[in-house]
Structure 1
Amino acid sequence: MIPILFVVVSGVLNSQTVSENLGKNQNTEWIISRFLNKEFQNIKISGNPKMVNSPYGKAVYFDGIDDAFFLNEVPLKDMDEFTVEMIFNPAIDGDFEQRVVHMGEISGNRMLLEIRAVDNSWYFDGFVASGENKLALIDEKLIHPLGQWYHVALVVTKNSLSTYVNGKLELTESFSFSSIETGQSSVGVRLNKRSWFKGIIYKIKVSPKKLNVTDFMSFKL
């Protein structure tokens, strides 16, 4: 695992909503263990996601059957470009197709962080739909062992998509992007409750700009 420089973010959790300062020129940081606080008014919990210890602090385990969180917000709203990062640990016995994070519409404009799990390994899928344009950055040859901690990132600009695993660029392609203005968000499954994730998630961060590798979240073991 490679070290990634720590960056302070501005999104803060409170007793009313899971995120503050949503929108253009603001970061959103989700510490997933805080989603279990039932005082948050804009979160619905599916199943029984469990708080667990991790090398980074408290995290949440998803069983791959019905554990997920549904949020009545879209952190990507008004963003002409963005970077979505996640620190997570995919389990060794999850399903082949797993949607880990979904923001936007169910089948309209949307962004997803996904994985495919095969033979004790996984590979990354960063997907964006914007108007008539849809693109999945995925390569089954770029595999990683399951059951370990990883940092992944999807970087979206007005004319490109790029994916990273542990700070290393995996794929990049041209793409015409316009901001995602409507919808909701889910963590642990697709918004339509298909393709459940099995494993642990510590943190998700959304930045309203293209980040360089040196600006990604801290990731050390």
Structure 2
Amino acid sequence: MMTFKANTIFLIFVSTIIIACNSSKKEPIDSSKTDWIIANLLEKEPDQISIQGNPKLVNAPLGKAVCFDGIYDALFLDQMPLKDANSFTVEMIFKPSEVEAPFEQRIVHIGEVSKDRMLLEIRAKNGQWYFDGFVASNENKKALIDEKLTHPLGKWYHVALVVTPNSIITFVNGKKEIEAPFLFKPINTGKTSLGVRLNKKSWFKGSIYRVKISKKVVLPNHFIHF
């Protein structure tokens, strides 16, 4: 009887160790996507970014966001999340400011300063803004922009730029705005900036909650929750 109890205790002990070891294993990193809660970058992971100016944490409907002043505030990341992507989707939840908003605003810039790159941009005028999704790849350039597709400043929005090997598409709040043919080759070099172009021109005034980059085509029914 004592031997049986000892064996049972030993098995329980070994099982406990195995469970503890398994539970301590980290989940594998999904290299097919990059998902930034911008407040977390600023607050919890400052070693990942270079901060310019004084971007501030603010409250947003989904949690904390980061507010940029449109003059000096920006975040720079030594990361290239689009490397080797034949298709990609960049989503952003943001709020453009309605107060003294600059006309040309670059919000997300990934890639090189003036060669292969993509940007999420807006134009602000008369209390309204319209979207500009820009891609440059292998000497091809395309800006999807229509000044008639306006939206009120001062509200939260979801925007997306979807790039396939043969086309680019823009969405605002899940609704397709513009689609155009485009011969795309992967953007493999460069860095990332939030709140301004990588060359520190065309500053964004407003708040960003989240930016998600997927190395695939994402359809509106799978966009991040907003």
Question: TM above 0.5, one fold?
Answer: yes
In structure 1, the residue matched to 2:38 is 32
Q: Is the 8 A contact 2:41 2:48 kept in 1?
A: no
For residues 142-153 of structure 1, the aligned pairs below 5 Å read 142-153=149-160
**Inter-partner Cα distance in structure 2 for 1:37 and 1:59:** 10
Q: Is the 8 A contact 1:35 1:43 kept in 2?
A: yes
Match of 2:71 among 59, 65, 74: 65
Q: CA deviation at 1:37?
A: 3.2
**What is the DSSP-based 3-state SS (H/G/I as helix, E as strand, rest coil) of the residue aligned with 2:147?**
coil
Identity of aligned residues (%): 61
For residues 9-158 of structure 1, the aligned pairs below 5 Å read 21=29, 23=31, 26-37=32-43, 39-92=45-98, 93-158=100-165
**What is the DSSP-based 3-state SS (H/G/I as helix, E as strand, rest coil) of the residue aligned with 2:39?**
helix
Q: CA deviation at 1:41?
A: 2.9
**Inter-partner Cα distance in structure 2 for 1:91 and 1:22:** 33
In structure 2, the residue matched to 1:195 is 202
Q: CA deviation at 1:36?
A: 1.4
Q: What letter is aligned with 2:177?
A: E
**Inter-partner Cα distance in structure 2 for 1:172 and 1:94:** 27
**What is the DSSP-based 3-state SS (H/G/I as helix, E as strand, rest coil) of the residue aligned with 2:149?**
coil
TM-score, length-scaled by structure 1: 0.87
Task: Name stretches of at least 5 consecutive residues in structure 2 with no aligned partner.
Answer: 1-27
**Inter-partner Cα distance in structure 2 for 1:22 and 1:78:** 15
Higher Cα radius of gyration? 2
Task: Name stretches of at least 5 consecutive residues in structure 1 with no aligned partner.
Answer: 1-19
**Inter-partner Cα distance in structure 2 for 1:69 and 1:105:** 16
TM-score, length-scaled by structure 2: 0.85
Provide Cα deviations, 1:106-153, integer angstroms capped at 9, x if missing partner. 001000000000000000000000011000000000000000000000
In structure 2, the residue matched to 1:177 is 184
Q: What letter is aligned with 2:108?
A: V
Structure 1: 4+ residue segments shifted above 4 A: 20-23
Q: CA deviation at 1:94?
A: 1.4
Q: What letter is aligned with 1:156?
A: V
Q: What letter is aligned with 1:63?
A: D
Change in CA separation of 1:22 and 1:183 when aligned onto 2, cut-off 3 Å: farther
In structure 2, the residue matched to 1:13 is none
Provide Cα deviations, 1:78-126, integer angstroms capped at 9, x if missing partner. 1000000000000012100000000000001000000000000000000
Q: What letter is aligned with 1:84?
A: V
In structure 1, the residue matched to 2:6 is none
1:216 matches 2:212: no
Q: Is the 8 A contact 2:76 2:194 kept in 1?
A: yes
**Inter-partner Cα distance in structure 2 for 1:37 and 1:213:** 30
Q: What letter is aligned with 1:174?
A: P
**Inter-partner Cα distance in structure 1 for 2:45 and 2:215:** 27
**Inter-partner Cα distance in structure 2 for 1:126 and 1:84:** 10
Q: What letter is aligned with 2:49?
A: I
